[in-house]
Amino acid sequence: MNFYAAWRSAWKALAANALRSLLTMLGIIIGVAAVITMMAVGRGATERVQAQMKGLGSNIMLVLNGGVNSSGTRLGAQSNQRLTEEDALAMALEVPEVQVAAPTSRTTGQVVWGNTNWGTSVFGVTNDYLEARDWPLRSGRQFDPSEVDRAGKVAWLGATVVRELFGDQDPVDQMVRVRGVPVLVVGVLDSKGQNSMGQDQDDVIMIPLSTLRNRIWGGNTASRQKTVGAISVKVREGQSMALAEEHIKDLLRQRFKVQPGADDPFNVRNLTEILQAQEASSRIMTLLLSAVAGVSLVVGGIGIMNIMLVSVTERTREIGLRMAVGARGKDILAQFLIEAVTLSLLGGAVGVLLGFGATWAVGQFAGWQVAMSADAVALAVGFSALVGVFFGYYPARRASKLLPIAALRYE
């Protein structure tokens, strides 16, 4: 009995009990669809974290103003010890693991160009900020040293601000007003996308830190002290992030004259490690969801085995007749095994279509990032075929071991 004849016989047997075959495939259909959907959701979450890591930059730490305790009262960021530009310079010069330390301050304001305006975040930065964040300019130039030192009226625009103010026009060499101060656009930042908090990183305008202090804030006390809101630190490639963090803390404790056992008036956040932990969690969650979905495939396989056992019992006389006219045990084994695998593969095909639909629905209506992959489809369909072979083998072998005379006598 060749393969084609065995497959045709199996197909006729399944078509004769179409409803039963459909119900038998239901477990496989649900299992394959669940595996594809869960893996797409997990892969999407992982890709989102990877995109955030790429947008953040590599080997990044953020040093922030922290809080101290005074007489049992938490003073928070309002304490008189605050980070300054000199602290950033000291990190770059005295901590060997640090490649660059970029001081930044932030405010908000309206940016006006012609008859259009847009409310956005206004960052005071230096050229080092681009290196610290791995954030290149899409067009234009960096700030001149004289512009950084003498509060030059220049700016870089994020992609969102460019879109909202200029549309398709080139903003370079155009004048915009930031909180009433006219500045010249000298560069456009490359697109970064959203950060881990879902905030649009491209909705920003960057000006020299001295310009923010002296022209936007008007040279207040904080400006005269050259205090900053944060320092972005990029650690050299191949250097230990943990060691760099410890050296930064030691340096700042010395500069702030922190007594042993006292709280640090600053916080150091290892952003790369945070996102790497999120990525690892996403991968583990993907495996767990896929494992849970895979249980449906096992349940579907058990259903196939039960139905095949019932089919063997119902068709005992047929088996006996086939063997009486010359069919061998391996022919009977092949016939019933092909029936089981056909059920699994049909269920897998329908499950793939259902998985595509479910994945699309999750992305459209739940707003989650999903990512279909060919390996997930191949894994689900391949596993469904393996389930058919595994759970179909015992009933098929049982049928092939029947004695012809006993099968013909069976009522």
How high is the pLDDT of residue 21? 76
Question: What is the per-residue pLDDT across 96-140, written as a single tens digit (0 to 9) for each?
Answer: 999 999 999 999 999 999 899 999 999 999 999 999 888 999 999
How high is the pLDDT of residue 76? 45
- The structure's pTM equals 0.60
How high is the pLDDT of residue 52? 59
How high is the pLDDT of residue 69? 42
What DSSP state is assigned to residue 78? G
Under DSSP, is residue 105 helix (H, G, I), strand (E, B) or coil?
A: strand
Distance from C-alpha of 165 to C-alpha of 87, rounded to nearest angstrom: 36
How high is the pLDDT of residue 72? 40
How high is the pLDDT of residue 105? 93
What's the half-sphere exposure (Cβ side, CA atoms, 13 Å) at 291? 6
Cα angle 302, 304, 308; round to 5: 120
How high is the pLDDT of residue 142? 95
Low-confidence ranges of the chain (pLDDT < 70): 1-7, 9-10, 13, 46-58, 67-80, 195-198, 219-225, 271-279, 282, 293, 314-317, 319-327, 402-411
Which residues have a Cβ under 8 Å from the Cβ of 105 and sit 6 or more positions away?
A: 123, 124, 209, 212, 213, 227, 228, 229, 230
Which residues have a Cβ under 8 Å from the Cβ of 56 and sit 6 or more positions away?
A: 133, 195, 196, 271, 272, 275
Distance from C-alpha of 46 to C-alpha of 56, rounded to nearest angstrom: 15
Under DSSP, is residue 113 helix (H, G, I), strand (E, B) or coil?
A: strand
Distance from C-alpha of 58 to C-alpha of 275, rounded to nearest angstrom: 11
How high is the pLDDT of residue 350? 87
Best CA proximity match to 248, nearest among 94, 351, 113, 140: 94
Under DSSP, is residue 373 helix (H, G, I), strand (E, B) or coil?
A: coil
